[in-house]
Copies of this chain bind each other. A is one copy, B any other.
Amino acid sequence: MVERRKPIPVSEAVSRVVGLAKTGLTERTHINEAHGRTLGEDIVAVHPVPPFDRSPYDGFAIRAADSSEASRDNPQTFTVIETIGAGYVASKEVREFEAVRIMTGAKIPDQCDAVVMLELVSETVEHGVEQMTIKRPFKSGDNISFKGEETSEGTVLIRKGKKINPGVIAVLATFGYETVEVVRQPIIGVFATGSELLDVSEELQPGKIRNSNAHMVAAQVERAGAQVKMFGKLTDDLESCYQAIKEALKDIDMLITTGGVSVGDFDYLPAVYEKLGAEVLFNKIAMRPGSVTTVAHLDGTFLFGLSGNPSACYVGFELFVRPVVNIQLFVDKPHLLPVQARLTEDFLKPNPFTRFVRSKLTFDGGSLLVTPSGFNKSGAVTSLAATDCMIVLPGGTRGFQQGDVVKVLLLESTEGSEWPWG
């Protein structure tokens, strides 16, 4: 018999899920292991930048007042009393008409207030004494990078929840964060269901296909910034499914299953959720593909029942699992980033329900183009390789034509979005 399920809108489904999502725990990691992780603490400037007045050029530090009369007709000569490499500090006091040879990045001697660039002087040695001559005046402050001019002490530089990119690493190093608090990566268990599934290493057999969903979802888990724990395949037997899932839940933060959520005779997941006592948030969504996507929740743990159809499975992960991972990672905009793009080809299927089309985004100069990934029949696994976004076509619309502007959700962007993007 066909169970009747009441479909809910996508936005309602997503809202029910993220409403129960929680932020995660943090842990300390070394700066050299931090790239790609997510900040688990605000990063504060623990000192000003630059930390002292410094020279932005190789040149000579002088007291600007000593140069006030210098001109082409009245060159001013200075005695060079020492040389300061970057990282060293002046050892002598600088007096009238004295200069210090200074390297880029070095600290300006206390008595000096201007730097003359190397290219603007002539250098001579007079009776064994090093000298340099300039033909123009300099003002106090000329060619000095002042203490704190980039960043003053105490400034919050980067917020918790920011994905750590090379620039973040530079900031961490600058402020002495040899270790940094990062968010612990959620551990997501993955089970596949379906007696038609072969392991990837098995030869094809009549009627069977290889299990691609579990591997695909594992990569989506990694892309989302979480860790995967592969549990293999559930059998088509309620009791053993129940035991396997119950056991798995001990070691993981969330569970994903692929397949087994339809209303077919071999779809055991609904019964497993019931037996576990999990709260089913929904089991039917007004969307294509993936209308049977089911999400349940048990003692703070999500059980994502993704469709066994590869394309529906892919979409279900990105719409429901990814924001939960992001919230756990303290990402403040946990949903996929929406943009507008022009279709490069017709997409003529009508859309009785909200439709998600795996697609590829390209740039035409300053505008965005989007191309559905090849043959868009539900289940077409081979079109997934080029996918970096999903077109969203609202329910109740007819087909769309080449040149029409459509909403597109980015899958590879480092930026996210607040809900609703719909």
Contacts and interface: CB of A to CB of B under 8 A. Distances in A.
A52 B177 contact: no
Contacts of A365: 339-340
16 contacts: A50-B209, A52-B207, A58-B265, A85-B236, A85-B265, A87-B194, A107-B207, A151-B382, A173-B214, A173-B215, A174-B382, A176-B210, A178-B199, A178-B201, A340-B365, A340-B366
Contact of A385 (B171, B203, B342, B367): B171
A216 B166 contact: yes
A368 B337 CA distance: 13
Nearest to A199: B178
A15 to B, nearest CB: 23
A386 interface: yes
A22 interface: no
A366 B363 contact: no
Contacts of A174: 209-210, 212, 381-382
Interface stretch (A31-39, A128-136, A240-248, A391-399): A31-39
B173 A212 contact: yes
Given A173-B212, A207-B89, A210-B176, A196 B339 contact: no
A206 B51 CA distance: 8
A314 B368 CA distance: 27
A187 interface: no
A209 to B, nearest CB: 7
Task: Count identical subunits in the complex.
Answer: 2
A271 interface: no
A287 interface: no
Interface in A363-397: 363, 365-368, 373, 375, 377-388
Interface stretch (A65-73, A219-227, A293-301): A219-227
Contact of A363 (B157, B309, B337): B337
Contact of A206 (B89, B103, B358): B89
Interface string A287-331: 000000000000000000000111000100000000000000000
A173 B220 CA distance: 14
A106 B207 contact: yes
B204 A173 contact: no
A105 interface: yes
Contacts of A51: 204, 209
B385 A264 contact: no
A384 B171 contact: yes
Given A167-B384, A178-B199, 18 more contacts: A51-B209, A85-B236, A87-B195, A89-B207, A105-B196, A105-B209, A107-B207, A150-B382, A157-B382, A164-B219, A165-B385, A166-B217, A166-B220, A169-B215, A170-B215, A171-B385, A173-B212, A339-B366
A370 to B, nearest CB: 10
A218 interface: yes
Contacts of A74: none
Interface string A321-358: 00000000000000001011110000000000000001
Interface in A105-151: 105-107, 118-119, 123, 145, 149-151
